[in-house]
Amino acid sequence: MRARVFNFVNGITLIGVGAVLLDFFFTGRLDQYLHPQFRYWTLLAGVIFCVAGVVYAAGKTTSQCCIDGECVHQSANSPVRSLVAFLVLFVPLAAGVALSKDSYDQHAVLNRGFVQDITKLPSRSGSLPAPTPNDQVIPPQALGADMDERASEPLPQDTPSSPPDPNAVAKGGTGQANPAVPSSDDNGSQYLPKAADGNVALEVTDLLYAEAEDSLRKMFTDKTIEVIGQYLPGSDAKQFKLVRMFIVCCAADARPLAVPVEVSGPMTATEMGWVKVVGKPIFTQQGDRAHVVLKADKVESTDPPAEAMLY
């Protein structure tokens, strides 16, 4: 009877673990924790945990749990094992459902340190085409297209499968192979994603990418842009950092990306709260690198974006 009870406890533990995974998946909270490629593994694992837990709890109890009669499990029918499993496996996960705020505070951000060179981040390194004087190709990733396809469609010349337009030269008369590619005059600004109020909507990553890419700097300079990120107070009231977290697999490996922001007057925002900054990016050359500062005209609190993490 006692073995039966602890068999049941083990089953409940497994079902509980599965239920927590499924809860985080279906409430969308999992999106804050994992890269998209891992989320469906968690869903699948949640289902398997629930099924396995039912099979385990309902199964008949034998003196040894292993099928070949050579049980290797430490104290398989021990009540201590079952209770420890419940306390270590299920309780922390269940506590996470109730207590986790699904984000880091500023201590974690400061402890990790900010990424200095965004082009070295995975999925971005190697995707940046070699810059040329007349390069007008905007890397889709540089405009957050990897986050939101509508944000920035790749230019037609990025698509090798697109057949070249034989009449392009005749139509355009400029010698460009594809008329959809902007001329060197307009800096491709018509391809920049726009917010509802007409400002150019960028990500923190776009501005950091522009530090390494001259064509992007030209494109962003003198534009009124709006950027969403988390507020991290600066050394005085007139400056702060606009932070986004970049993850490879899960939030445990998150690395902070930040753009310094200067405001004209004092402002209030909660630490690591989400804010929308409207202003103009200023690029200054320091040695062989450009550095960006966002001069803010307006800073206001906003809702977190659908994907709080960048990938």
Q: Which of 158, 29, 2 is nearest to 93 (CA)?
A: 29
> Of these, 3, 112, 177, 239, which contacts another protein (CB under 8 A)?
112
CA 243 to each of CA 83, 210, 232: distance values in angstroms, whole numbers, following the listed order: 42, 16, 7
The yes or no reply on residue 191 touching another protein (CB under 8 A) is no
The yes or no reply on residue 26 touching another protein (CB under 8 A) is no
Question: Alpha helix (H) ranges present in the chain?
Answer: 2-26, 36-58, 79-85, 91-99, 106-112, 168-172, 204-211, 214-220
Near another protein by CB under 8 A, which window of 121-129, 154-162, 167-175, 204-212?
121-129
How far is the C-alpha of 219 from the C-alpha of 99, rounded, in Å? 44
86, two tokens: 């419940």
The yes or no reply on residue 44 touching another protein (CB under 8 A) is yes
> Of these, 83, 105, 132, 189, which contacts another protein (CB under 8 A)?
105
Number of residues that bind another protein (CB under 8 A): 72
Q: Minimum CB separation from another protein for residue 280, in Å?
A: 30
Site string (238-277) toward another protein, x via CB under 8 A: ----------xxxxxx-x----------------------
Please give the distance of CA 142 from its chain centroid, rounded to a whole number.
14
Q: Minimum CB separation from another protein for residue 91, in Å?
A: 10
81, two tokens: 């094992």
Near another protein by CB under 8 A, which window of 119-127, 163-171, 189-197, 280-288?
119-127
> Of these, 122, 129, 131, 164, which contacts another protein (CB under 8 A)?
122
The yes or no reply on residue 34 touching another protein (CB under 8 A) is yes
How far is the C-alpha of 194 from the C-alpha of 10, rounded, in Å? 54
Specify the residue, 12 or 227, whose C-beta has the smaller distance to another protein: 12
CA atoms within 13 A on the CB side of 45: 13
> Of these, 3, 8, 23, 89, which contacts another protein (CB under 8 A)?
89
Q: Minimum CB separation from another protein for residue 210, in Å?
A: 19
> Of these, 120, 171, 289, 295, which contacts another protein (CB under 8 A)?
120
Q: Return all residues near 39 (Cβ < 8 A) that are at least 6 apart.
A: 25, 30, 31
